């Protein structure tokens, strides 16, 4: 079975002030349109630190493998809507990334109280068949919402992987324990009210009864991001020396608390109020404007025009729009150029 894991480690310093126990409401609960940027770090001197309350995990010394060209160590993850034709029709979102030049799509089912990993699909150059992995219903329980200190959730799983003509089977267990809270220090800043989640995934390859892979992963979450601020993970097969990977979060846009994202290059502003799109601009009175709304699959889902009679325009799409990010395009009649605006609908 194809396995992709992230490994991480940290150092803890004693805390001097007693902190209130934090609550994280959106662990791995993603909004369509979210883009997360992570930085791969040198894991040589990294330690995951200690569990417990009021910890200070100091990872401010993390360095990349390519300090002179950090782009080589940068990874981006895109949360996409699940199309109508999908290998996993029950998925609510797709977590898409490009690693080593290969696009990997992880299909997730978000129920509002939990997130399940249903499977993965990787790109392949035709005529090769894309490698896939599928976990049997309901999938792997990878997150719960909300989480608190000392929460534990676990599951057993079975699955199938197909790579060309080779089909293999796997089974195992997955357990996550919220084992600490406190402050996390990263190279670009400090984060308070952070929960640490320790994950142990024990997987057996059913086509090779001697193959056992154990992944131990530490993830640090706060309440402003759906993905972890830091991940330290180690993976070992049959007791071999573990391979360790460390990644920390550089940015996530939009943040969970952000209602809309406005284009800084234009004066156009806008937001959704329920299903109504409100645009604000220094519109030229009496001038005709053309507006369209495009989803992240590139599909135009709304087209209209209006004659400006004020600085605020209220547009009502005929269909109920799903939550997520949309691109609004605005063009003035008989004028070149298009103003664009990214807007998040809750």
Indicate the average pLDDT of the chain. Answer: 84
pLDDT in tens, 165-176: 888 899 999 999
pLDDT, average across residues 182-207 = 93
- What pLDDT does 53 receive? 97
- What pLDDT does 42 receive? 94
pLDDT, average across residues 235-248 = 94
Domain spans of the chain, in order of start:
12-253, 269-345
Q: Is 72 helix (H, G, I), strand (E, B) or coil?
A: helix
User: What is the CATH number assigned to the segment(s) 12-253?
Assistant: 2.40.360
pLDDT, average across residues 313-333 = 80
17 or 21, higher pLDDT: 21
- What pLDDT does 276 receive? 86
pTM of the shown model: 0.70
User: What is the CATH number assigned to the segment(s) 269-345?
Assistant: 2.60.40.3080
Percent of the chain's residues with pLDDT above 70 = 85
- What pLDDT does 262 receive? 37
pLDDT, average across residues 288-311 = 77
From the centroid of its chain, how far is CA 61?
25
Instruction: Say whether pLDDT at 263 is over 50.
Output: no
- Residues belonging to the chain: 346
Tell me how crowded residue 291 is: count the other CB atoms within 10 A of its CB: 19
Is 250:37 a contact under the CB 8 Å cutoff? Answer: yes
pLDDT in tens, 33-57: 888 889 999 999 899 999 999 999 9
**Among 24-38, 81-95, 181-195, 267-281, whose mean pLDDT is lowest?**
267-281
320 or 254, higher pLDDT: 320
CA dihedral 47, 217, 324, 112 (to 10 degrees): -130
Residue 257: pLDDT band by 50, 70, 90 thresholds?
very low
Instruction: Say whether pLDDT at 226 is over 80.
Output: yes
Distance CA 43, CA 230 (A): 12
């Amino acid at each position: 079975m194809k396995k992709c894991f992230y490994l991480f480690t940290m150092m803890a310093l004693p805390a001097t002030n007693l902190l209130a126990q934090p609550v994280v409401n959106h662990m791995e609960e993603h909004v369509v349109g979210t883009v997360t940027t992570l930085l791969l770090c040198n894991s040589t001197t990294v330690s995951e630190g200690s569990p417990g309350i009021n910890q200070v995990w100091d990872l401010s010394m993390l360095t990349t493998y390519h300090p002179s060209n950090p782009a080589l160590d940068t990874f981006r993850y895109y949360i996409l809507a699940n199309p109508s034709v999908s290998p996993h029709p029950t998925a609510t979102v797709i977590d898409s990334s490009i690693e080593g030049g290969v696009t990997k799509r992880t299909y997730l089912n978000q129920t509002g109280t939990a997130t399940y990993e249903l499977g993965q699909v990787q790109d392949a150059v035709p005529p090769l068949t894309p490698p896939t992995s599928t976990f049997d219903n309901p999938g792997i329980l990878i997150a719960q919402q909300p989480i608190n200190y000392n929460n534990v959730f676990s599951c057993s799983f079975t699955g199938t992987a197909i790579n060309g003509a080779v089909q293999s089977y796997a089974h195992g267990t997955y357990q996550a324990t919220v084992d600490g809270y406190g402050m996390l220090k990263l190279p670009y800043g400090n984060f308070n009210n952070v929960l640490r989640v320790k994950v142990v995934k024990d997987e057996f390859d059913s086509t090779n009864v001697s193959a056992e892979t154990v992944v131990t992963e530490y993830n640090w979450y706060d309440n402003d991001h759906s993905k972890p601020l830091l991940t330290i993970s180690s993976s070992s097969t049959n007791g071999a020396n573990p391979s360790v990977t460390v990644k920390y979060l550089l940015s996530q846009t939009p943040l969970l608390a952000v209602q809309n994202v406005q284009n800084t290059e234009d004066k156009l502003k806008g937001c959704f109020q329920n299903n109504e799109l409100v645009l604000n601009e220094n519109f030229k009175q009496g001038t005709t404007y053309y507006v369209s709304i495009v989803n992240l699959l590139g599909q135009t889902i709304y087209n209209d025009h209006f004659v400006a009679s004020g600085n605020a325009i209220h547009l009502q799409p005929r269909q109920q729009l799903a939550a997520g990010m949309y691109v609004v395009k605005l063009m003035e009649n008989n004028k070149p150029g298009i103003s664009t605006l990214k807007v998040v609908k809750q």
